[in-house]
Amino acid sequence: MPTVEQARSWYPADDPVHGFDHVQRVLAVAERLAEASGADLEIVRAAALLHDASGAAPGADGQRAEHEQASAAFARQVLQADGWPDERIQQVEACIRAHRYRGSEPPVSLEAKVLFDADKLDVLGAFGIARTLGYAQQAGQPAYHPPSASFLAMGQLESGEPHSAYHEYLFKLRKVADLLHTDEARRMAAVRLPLLHAFFAQLAAEASGDL
């Protein structure tokens, strides 16, 4: 079983979005969700520790590759070296491949749903705000830019329009809670969401001079 200390070496210390602190929070929440839902705790723990272990940091263009695929492949290497049976390695891989909001593979197993929920809860509430602002800075984008009519209607940026942290809130963060699978995750989201909504509402109001 991969350890927390072993996992520390897989993540950059200076990444405000997908660094080791994010992994620690996802692990803690995933363990809580697994215990509440009866999921396989060993599969969930391994998947949580490995889910962003390869390719999650943005490249020189400010974009991230399909890091769920790279992280799943890395997880296979780690777990094979640790002597895991192939069937259980495949379960961990499936969890990791299905954890992204923008991913093409939905979570199917209970363990994959637990990891998805734990990862998504970390984009809600106080850390969700901090990570969204951190990612905008990584990508060279502003915290706020007025969203265009095209973006508001269809989620499509107009020419020269940056994808600000506020855009990410409109496009993703405010919708995440509707995608959660487990009862405990939905309960936790209900506590975190008011702060998230209030922050971005005030951000827009201050930017426009309303406050």
Phi then psi for 197, rounded to 5 degrees? -65, -40
Domains for the chain: give ranges and CATH numbers.
Answer: 1-103 (1.10.472.50), 123-211 (1.20.58.1910)
Q: What is the average pLDDT across 96-123? A: 92
Dist CA 210 CA 137 (whole Å): 25
* Averaged confidence pLDDT in the chain: 92
- Determine which helix (DSSP H) or strand (DSSP E) holds 50, and give its type and residue range: helix 41-50
Answer with the residue of higher pLDDT: 103 or 72.
72
Phi then psi for 48, rounded to 5 degrees? -65, -45
Lowest mean pLDDT among 38-42, 100-104, 172-176: 100-104
Dist CA 86 CA 209 (whole Å): 58
pLDDT band at 1 (very low <50, low <70, confident <90, very high): confident
Cβ distance 204 to 144 under 8 Å? Answer: yes
What tens digit of pLDDT does each residue of 72-95 get? Answer: 999 999 999 999 999 999 999 999
- Under DSSP, the state recorded for 16 is T
How distant, in Å, are the alpha carbons of 14, 50, 60, 93, 204 from that of 74?
A: 21, 8, 22, 9, 40
Under 8 Å CB-to-CB from 191, ≥6 apart: which residues? 125
pTM: 0.90
Dist CA 33 CA 185 (whole Å): 7
Cβ distance 128 to 134 under 8 Å? Answer: no
Dist CA 103 CA 120 (whole Å): 13
pLDDT band at 62 (very low <50, low <70, confident <90, very high): very low
Dist CA 167 CA 147 (whole Å): 7
* Helix/strand/coil percent split, the chain, to 5: 65, 0, 35
Per-residue pLDDT at 63: 47
Dist CA 25 CA 144 (whole Å): 26
